[in-house]
Amino acid sequence: MKDERRNRASSGSKRPLKTLDRALSKLGAGSRTQAREWISAGRVRVNGRRVTDPEAWVDVARDRVEIDGERQKAGPRTYLLVYKPKGVITSRTDPQGRRTVHDLLPHRSGHLFTVGRLDLDTSGLIIVTNDSQLAERMTNPDFHVDKTYLVKASARLSDEQLDALRRGVELDDGPTRPAKVVRLRDPGGRTVFEITLTEGRNRQVRRMVEALGAKVLKLVRVRLGPLEAEGMKPGDVRELTPSEVAALGRAGRSPAKG
């Protein structure tokens, strides 16, 4: 099937040929990473045949693509903004039985997935959607989409330490990009500040503060691109407006512009 699809793709066909993982993502089934997991696990069939190669070509207009026997069809796009509470995870399911972001959502048809992640002890804004193209733009560090966090550190941080965050600090996976940092207050010998990043490494804010010799006592994502948490509280879910979706599509800078 793979060679046949590639020949069709290179023959000038104008039909919407895509690799299987991209096709599933385009149909709103989930992210490409999730699609590859489903394909590798043998859960995906194309025209009744099990396909385990994510690079196999499919015609999304004609081929019948199924996951666990359920046909995947393009449906309406869904865009939800969730204020994730502390103690809730962003995975779809959890073997330990903990609450997930998906437990907060109203009942909806279609496959929704979170855009990026927030760790268990971090609260704040996260997008849930079935738009894989938007998800890729929001999570690709080349687009420099701003993410702002409210941070409470375990110690009073000096101006020099905050300047270090602004310049970028050295972590075990390399130096961080420069960040915007605003000191808000210093209650009880601790510092509360806002930090805006354009990348999203695992536990990045916590590790940056730890590099200064302190710990993060509280971490909340209060802004995600053009979206703000104003008026929302932990556990709230709302639909994005068309203008907000359009603003997300313009967020950040394109790789070509740097």
Q: Are residues 242 and 127 in the same domain?
A: yes
Q: Are residues 12 and 129 in the same domain?
A: no
Closest CA to 5 of 68, 66, 65, 70: 65
Q: How far does Cα 228 stand from its chain's mean position?
A: 16
Q: How far does Cα 105 stand from its chain's mean position?
A: 17
Q: Helix, strand, or coil here: 194?
A: strand
Q: Are residues 220 and 161 in the same domain?
A: yes
pLDDT at 11 exceeding the cut of 60: no
209 in a domain, yes or no? Answer: yes
pLDDT at 185 exceeding the cut of 50: yes
Q: Residue 24's domain spans which residues?
A: 2-71
Q: Are residues 128 and 235 in the same domain?
A: yes
22 in a domain, yes or no? Answer: yes
As given in the structure block, the two tokens for residue 12 are: 């000038």
| More confident position, 21 or 205 | 205
Q: Are residues 131 and 154 in the same domain?
A: no
197 in a domain, yes or no? Answer: yes
Sign of CA dihedral 32, 222, 196, 146: positive
CB 135, CB 35: distance < 8 Å:
no
Q: Are residues 110 and 176 in the same domain?
A: no
Q: Are residues 220 and 232 in the same domain?
A: no
- Give the range among 141-145, 167-171, 234-238 with minimum mean pLDDT: 141-145
Look up the CATH number of the domain holding residue 111. Answer: 3.30.70.580
- What's the pLDDT score for residue 30? 74
258 in a domain, yes or no? Answer: no
Catalytic residue among 53, 63, 119, 236: 119
Q: Are residues 200 and 161 in the same domain?
A: yes
How many structural domains comprise the chain? 3
Look up the CATH number of the domain holding residue 207. Answer: 3.30.70.1560
- What's the pLDDT score for residue 2? 45
Closest CA to 212 of 196, 190, 187: 190
Distance CA 231, CA 126 (A): 15
Q: Are residues 35 and 163 in the same domain?
A: no
Q: Are residues 17 and 126 in the same domain?
A: no
Q: Are residues 137 and 237 in the same domain?
A: yes
At residue 181 the predicted structure's pLDDT band, cuts being 50, 70 and 90, is: very high
Q: Are residues 54 and 98 in the same domain?
A: no
Q: Is-catalytic flag, 119?
A: yes
